[in-house]
């Protein structure tokens, strides 16, 4: 396994690889969710590249950029065990220039839900992901469904900019009690963890309602909000959208995503189910 810190060096190395490249972009602090993406990439490609980069441009003023968990040593071990060929760990200067061109998220889909709560976040995500796609020239890129809106926007970017990379959506990985794995879960105290379970419980409630043929979005959202407001400190949103992120009055089976975002303590958590 090679660790590369410079973008141009990685571009050269990539050009010398003869075969398909599976790419897993991450911000490090790797957990089972990332490992499942890496395993899928390993199974489906000749080479696997993982990037580890806490991208400053996707953090808003006052967010957790400075305290975002950094676990380089453990991450490198995890990648080695998972059969990664190359880890890309760039410095900020290696990937960003002064006064550079920027990509902006689409005006509607990029500025609802996460985009409304975190304005500018998706511009930063798309900017870095575009760079990473160009540096790695990936054949397949693996993204978790947990960041559903991010996944939708990156998929749109590949279409709008005629990129060659194939986006592979991957299932959410949960712990034994149902919490969707996230690097930010490490911020939760024991008591907060118990209360954070309400996110996945509210989604289970929604899926039970849908299973009993309740498709009315407003009824499902009210039931979820009732459950959530008893446990979380601040509910950012509950939403029901189609796979293109258009709000739905009625759940469309096979084409809907039910999403929740909430603060437990100071930690902002998101979760969703695809129905």
Piece in contact with ligand PAF (CB under 6 A), picked from 62-70, 123-131, 214-222, 257-265? 123-131
CB atoms within 10 A of CB 73: 8
Kindly give the interhelix angle for 121-136 and 7-15, rounded to the nearest 10 degrees: 40
Piece in contact with ligand PAF (CB under 6 A), picked from 6-14, 121-129, 174-182, 240-248? 121-129
Q: How far is the CB of 153 from ligand PAF (least distance, A)?
A: 10
Q: How far is the CB of 58 from ligand PAF (least distance, A)?
A: 6
Sign of torsion over alpha carbons 187, 193, 199, 200: positive
Nearer to ligand PAF, 33 or 139 (CB): 33
Q: How far is the CB of 19 from ligand PAF (least distance, A)?
A: 23
Nearer to ligand PAF, 26 or 256 (CB): 26
Nearer to ligand PAF, 26 or 267 (CB): 26
Contact between 125 and ligand PAF (CB under 6 A)? Answer: yes
Catalytic machinery residues: 34
Beta pairing class for 166-170 and 47-52: unpaired
Q: In what order do the strands lie in the sheet with 267-274?
A: 234-242, 256-264, 267-274
Residue 62, SS3 per DSSP: coil
Site size with ligand PAF, rule: CB under 6 A:
10
Q: How far is the CB of 90 from ligand PAF (least distance, A)?
A: 11
Measured at the CA of 233, the angle between CA 259 and CA 239, to 5 degrees, comes to 15
Print the binding letters for residues 19-58 with ligand PAF: x by CB under 6 A, - otherwise: ------xxx---------------------------x--x
Q: How far is the CB of 95 from ligand PAF (least distance, A)?
A: 11
Print the binding letters for residues 133-152 with ligand PAF: x by CB under 6 A, - otherwise: --------------x--x--
- DSSP label of 254: T
Nearer to ligand PAF, 124 or 224 (CB): 124
Contact between 227 and ligand PAF (CB under 6 A)? Answer: no
Contact between 128 and ligand PAF (CB under 6 A)? Answer: yes
Q: Which of 259, 263, 273, 269 shows the shortest CA–CA distance to 182?
A: 269
CB atoms within 10 A of CB 89: 17
Contact between 64 and ligand PAF (CB under 6 A)? Answer: no
Nearer to ligand PAF, 27 or 87 (CB): 27
Q: Dump the DSSP string for 85-136.
A: SEEE---HHHH--TT-------TTTTSSTHHHHSTTHHHHHHHHHHHHHHHH
Q: How far is the CB of 112 from ligand PAF (least distance, A)?
A: 18
From residue 275, give the alpha-carbon distance in Å to each of 101, 206, 240.
38, 10, 10
Q: Which of 61, 19, 161, 40 shows the shortest CA–CA distance to 101?
A: 161
Residues found near ligand PAF in the complex (CB under 6 A): 25-27, 55, 58, 125, 128-129, 147, 150
């Amino acid at each position: 396994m090679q660790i590369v810190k410079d973008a141009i060096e990685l571009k050269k190395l990539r050009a010398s690889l003869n075969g398909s490249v599976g790419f897993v972009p991450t911000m490090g602090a790797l957990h089972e969710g990332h490992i499942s993406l890496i395993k899928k990439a390993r199974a489906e490609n000749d080479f696997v590249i993982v990037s580890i980069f806490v991208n400053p441009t996707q953090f808003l003023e006052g967010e957790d950029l400075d305290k975002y968990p950094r676990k380089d040593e453990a991450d490198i071990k995890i990648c080695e065990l998972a059969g990664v060929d190359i880890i890309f760990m760039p410095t900020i200067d290696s990937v960003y220039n002064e006064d550079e061109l920027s990509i902006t998220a689409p005006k509607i889909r990029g500025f609802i839900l996460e985009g409304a709560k975190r304005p500018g976040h998706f511009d930063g995500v798309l900017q870095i992901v575009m760079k990473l796609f160009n540096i790695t020239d990936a054949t397949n890129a693996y993204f978790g469904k947990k960041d559903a809106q991010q996944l939708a926007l990156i998929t749109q970017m590949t279409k709008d900019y005629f990129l060659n990379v194939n986006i592979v959506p991957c299932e959410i990985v949960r712990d034994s009690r149902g919490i969707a794995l996230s690097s930010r879960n490490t911020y939760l105290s024991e008591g907060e963890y118990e209360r954070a379970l309400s996110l996945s419980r509210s989604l289970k409630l929604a899926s039970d309602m849908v299973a009993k043929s309740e498709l009315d979005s407003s009824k499902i959202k009210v039931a979820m909000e009732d459950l959530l407001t008893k446990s979380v400190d601040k509910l950012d949103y509950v939403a029901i959208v189609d796979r293109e992120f258009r709000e739905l009055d009625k759940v469309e089976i096979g084409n809907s995503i039910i999403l929740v975002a909430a603060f437990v303590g100071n930690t902002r958590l998101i979760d969703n189910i695809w129905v």
